[in-house]
């Protein structure tokens, strides 16, 4: 049963950061990269200056998986038991209970979310207008996370039908559910994120104790291992320039970056004694 504990171990991780810039892929100039610092703070790092600002903080719960809206004006956060929608300045918080992970549709008018009963649904950004279930993931170990491609035409999600976390895709109306794009057993595959044109996914793969990052085509072919270290790497993100930001545990959790082929791996933000994780941004 230890494989059922994998999403818990990953989802409960803390996150933090401060300046320790590295070489290699650095992300689109003039934008901000979001990530968590500790378990209850969301911060933003300016790609050009490296300056960090606090965006939002909670006193209860654990922040994870931030998602910036397509126009950049709002941010969606998960806590494991609820979703929080805030303005980009951290104000105007709206709590949507009983949903554990989510992402925006292409124009930011809807949120796709996983409910606490492991149903994939859509809703308005204020939590109203919750749809009927688009996918029932209540069997087995439930559902873990999801990501909508930039065009809004496909949703990648993870579910645990048989004790092992698998990645699948689905259309926004609930049709065309794919077969598993990853192995059916023996490994956990989760945290899929689309690249800018929706042709590739980067994701976390765990076999045994360590997590590494892999990429694959949208149909599950062409799998490529991107990291192969003695440390844990997880929560990857394709940025708009196709560089990849991700979390690496090296003492503490740090935000790293690399090129889309896995070269140029470098620390982007790290601070002794603090945990930084779950990067998101254009």
Strand partners, 37: 41, 276
The pLDDT tens digits of the residues spanning 147-188 come to: 999 999 999 999 999 999 999 999 999 999 999 999 999 999
pLDDT at residue 28, as a whole number: 64
| pLDDT tens digits, one per residue of 73-125 | 999 999 989 999 999 999 999 999 999 999 999 999 999 999 999 999 999 99
Whether 250 is in a domain gets the answer yes
Please state whether the predicted TM-score (pTM) of the whole model is above 0.75: yes
Residue 118 lies in a domain: yes
Residue 280, in any domain of the structure? no
In this structure, is residue 193 part of a structural domain?
Answer: yes
pLDDT of residue 139: 93
Question: Which of the pair, 194 or 20, is modelled with greater confidence?
Answer: 194
Residue 260 falls inside a structural domain? yes
Q: Which of these ranges, 21-30, 196-205, 270-279, has the smallest mean pLDDT?
A: 21-30
- pLDDT at position 1: 36
pLDDT in tens, 225-240: 999 999 999 999 999 9
- Full domain range(s) for residue 24: 2-275
Distance CA 67, CA 194 (A): 13
Residue 281 belongs to some domain of the structure? no
Whole-number pLDDT of residue 131: 99
| 255 φ, ψ (degrees, to nearest 5) | -95, 125
Residue 19 lies in a domain: yes
Number of domains in the chain: 1
Does residue 246 have a pLDDT over 70?
Answer: yes
Q: What value does the mean pLDDT of the chain take?
A: 91
Assign residue 203 the CATH number of its domain. 2.120.10.30
Residue 37 falls inside a structural domain: yes
For residue 48, pLDDT over 60 is answered with: yes
pLDDT band at 8 (very low <50, low <70, confident <90, very high): very low
The count of other CB atoms within 10 Å of the CB of residue 261 is: 11
- Paired strand residues for 216: 201
């Amino acid at each position: 049963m230890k494989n059922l504990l994998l999403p818990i171990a990953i989802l409960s991780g803390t996150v933090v950061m401060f300046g320790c810039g590295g070489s290699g892929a650095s992300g689109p100039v003039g934008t901000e990269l979001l990530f968590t610092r500790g378990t209850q703070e969301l911060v933003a790092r300016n790609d050009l200056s490296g300056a960090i600002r606090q965006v939002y903080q909670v006193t209860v719960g654990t922040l994870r998986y931030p998602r910036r809206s397509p126009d950049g004006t709002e941010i969606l956060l998960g806590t494991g038991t609820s979703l929080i929608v805030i303005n980009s300045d951290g104000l105007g918080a709206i709590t949507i209970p009983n949903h554990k992970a989510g992402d925006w549709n292409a124009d930011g008018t809807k949120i796709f979310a996983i409910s606490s009963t492991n149903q994939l649904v859509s809703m308005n950004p204020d939590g109203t207008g919750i749809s009927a279930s688009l996918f029932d993931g209540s069997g087995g170990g439930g559902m873990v996370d999801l990501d909508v491609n930039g065009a809004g035409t496909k949703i990648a999600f993870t579910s645990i039908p048989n004790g092992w976390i698998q990645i699948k895709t689905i259309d926004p109306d609930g049709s065309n559910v794919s077969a598993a794009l990853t192995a059916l057993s023996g490994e956990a595959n989760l945290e899929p994120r689309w690249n800018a044109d929706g042709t590739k996914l980067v994701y976390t793969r765990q076999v045994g104790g360590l997590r590494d990052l892999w990429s694959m085509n949208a149909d599950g072919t062409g799998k490529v291992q991107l990291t192969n270290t003695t440390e844990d790497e997880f929560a990857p993100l394709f940025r708009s320039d196709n560089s990849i930001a991700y979390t690496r545990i090296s003492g503490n959790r740090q935000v790293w970056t690399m090129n889309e082929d896995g070269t140029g791996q470098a620390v982007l933000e790290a601070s002794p004694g603090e945990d930084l994780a779950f990067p998101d941004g254009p």
